[in-house]
């Protein structure tokens, strides 16, 4: 394990230097390193799953820090706008993915799976690729965070539906729990912050080590509770951040957690690259490339809607529809 840690961070430092000189994203350097030294490459790291499990903590901290910048009232105000954008983009990208898969002669069930897959974005990759100024200080960033979390909720529901279609039966009680889990988690988190955390912060705020430890426990505790309720760890961590966003100690917490977050995120993207399987790349690269090209074009439309500029999206969408019909 110690050799793997050495390999990850020394190799990441070297490839990150090359990536910066080449004006490429640091994420590409971390993923490329994982692909090179992982099982599909030189095999120098035999168990990337262990690293991935540890690195998942970085995603939890990232969502927690984003929640610290979003007050509870603002989150509720954003839900209506985010829901509209999420449902529209989900329908559009789902039909697009289904159509492309069907055009390549895939089975109907496979087309459905591809359609569902193209409706979702990687929360962690999306957030890491955006500048901090967009995420923390602009309305667009707040809407995007809300959309990504709603997509996580929709993904869980979609998995339950697929589980039911597969022949095991649709579990109505799990659906009911899923609908109630998010408001229950938010209300419970706000109550816990008001009656438990706030008095402790007020009494021991001068002991930085204790504040840091209490914050970690709160973040990971709500993340675990969210998982137990059928939600994701990331959603629980985000709610944990939102609940203490009003606290005057929130800036100190954010500054303390950022280095720890970056440490785990580097491991996460390394594990992502190490888990790549190149055996089927010859069969899927053409559909994937074509889907990416179509998605890049459609992404322009969704970005206009998210930024509150639908007047730009309407004429562009009209031209695209006219071209398809013609």
Render 243-310 in DSSP notation, one character per residue.
HTTTSTTHHHHHHHHHHHHHHHHHHHHHHHHHT---TTHHHHHHHHHHHHHHHHHHHHHHHHHHTT-H
Which CATH fold would you assign to the domain 57-267?
Na+/H+ antiporter like fold (1.20.1530)
Q: Helix 2-21 and helix 26-37: axis angle, to 10°? A: 130
pLDDT of residue 35: 86
Q: Which residue ranges of the chain lie beneath pLDDT 70?
A: 1, 46-48, 72, 74-75, 120-142, 153, 156-175, 278-326
pLDDT of residue 1: 67
- Which among 186, 206, 171, 185 is positioned nearest to 74, based on CA atoms? 186
- Which among 96, 103, 108, 93 is positioned nearest to 155, based on CA atoms? 93
Contact 242, 189 (CB under 8 A): yes
CA 20 to chain centre: 24
Domain map of the chain by residue range? 1-46, 57-267
pTM over 0.85: no
Q: How many CB atoms lie within 10 A of CB 15?
A: 19
Contact 111, 82 (CB under 8 A): no
As a whole number of angstroms, the distance between CA 239 and CA 297 comes to 33
pLDDT of residue 139: 67
Where do the H-state alpha helices sit in 119-249? 123-129, 132-137, 139-163, 172-192, 198-204, 208-228, 233-243
Contact 94, 116 (CB under 8 A): yes
pLDDT of residue 325: 44
In Å, the largest CA–CA distance within the chain is 70
Q: How many CB atoms lie within 10 A of CB 107?
A: 10
pLDDT of residue 224: 93
Contact 252, 65 (CB under 8 A): no
As a whole number of angstroms, the distance between CA 179 and CA 227 comes to 14
The first and second tokens of residue 301, run together, are 């439309």
Residue written as token pair 């800036």: 251
């Amino acid at each position: 394990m110690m050799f793997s840690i050495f390999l990850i961070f020394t190799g990441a430092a070297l490839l990150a230097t090359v990536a910066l000189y080449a004006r490429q994203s640091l994420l590409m350097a971390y993923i490329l390193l994982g692909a090179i030294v992982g099982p599909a490459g030189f095999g120098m790291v035999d168990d990337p799953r262990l690293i991935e499990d540890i690195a998942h903590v970085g995603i939890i901290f990232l969502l927690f820090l984003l929640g610290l910048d979003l007050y509870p009232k603002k989150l509720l105000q954003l839900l209506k706008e985010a829901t509209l954008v999420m449902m529209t983009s989900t329908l559009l990208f789902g039909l697009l993915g289904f159509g492309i898969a069907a055009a390549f002669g895939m089975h109907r069930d496979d087309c459905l799976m591809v359609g569902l897959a193209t409706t979702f974005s990687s929360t962690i990759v999306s957030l890491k690729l955006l500048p901090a100024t967009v995420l923390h200080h602009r309305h667009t960033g707040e809407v995007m965070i809300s959309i990504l979390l709603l997509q996580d909720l929709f993904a869980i529901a979609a998995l339950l539906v697929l589980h039911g279609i597969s022949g095991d039966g649709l579990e109505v009680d799990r659906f009911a729990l899923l609908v109630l889990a998010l408001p229950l988690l938010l209300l419970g988190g706000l109550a816990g912050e008001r009656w438990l955390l706030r008095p402790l912060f007020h009494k021991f705020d001068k002991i930085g080590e204790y504040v840091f430890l209490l914050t970690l426990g709160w973040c990971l505790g709500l993340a675990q509770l969210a998982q137990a309720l059928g939600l994701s760890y990331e959603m629980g961590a985000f709610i944990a951040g939102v609940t203490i966003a009003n606290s005057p100690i929130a800036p100190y917490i954010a500054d303390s957690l950022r280095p720890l977050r970056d440490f785990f995120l580097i491991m996460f993207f390394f594990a992502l690259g190490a888990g790549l399987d190149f055996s089927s790349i010859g069969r899927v690269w053409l559909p994937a490339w074509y889907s990416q090209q179509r998605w890049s074009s459609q992404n322009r439309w969704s970005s206009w809607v998210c930024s509150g500029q639908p007047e730009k999206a309407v004429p562009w969408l009209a031209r695209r529809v006219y071209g398809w019909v013609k």
